[in-house]
Amino acid sequence: MDIENVLSRFPRAKLLDAHTPLHDLPRLTAAVGGAAIAVKRDDAMALAFGGNKVRQLEYYLGDALAKGADTVLITSAVQSNFMRLTAAACCQLGLE
């Protein structure tokens, strides 16, 4: 069983429009030789501070929506980027 089949069993709120871009690093590739090197640009996601945080929230908030929630409570450190991202994602999905 592949990961897509496993993950498809869980409710998911769509927060990302597409896959994050890959940028080739030709100078680094040339410097080290061998296979082409690229970097995945999670910083280019639609919601600020992207990365794995957005992917987690797609499932947390998808579960909340599937259960009919209109308010979400998530705790973290006061300066947490995860909290900022949660607030932005909830706003996008119509959750408080």
Residues labelled as active-site residues? 80
Distance CA 38, CA 93 (A): 32
Backbone angles phi, psi at 25, to 5 degrees: -120, 75
C-alpha angle with apex 81: 75 to 83, nearest 5 degrees? 30
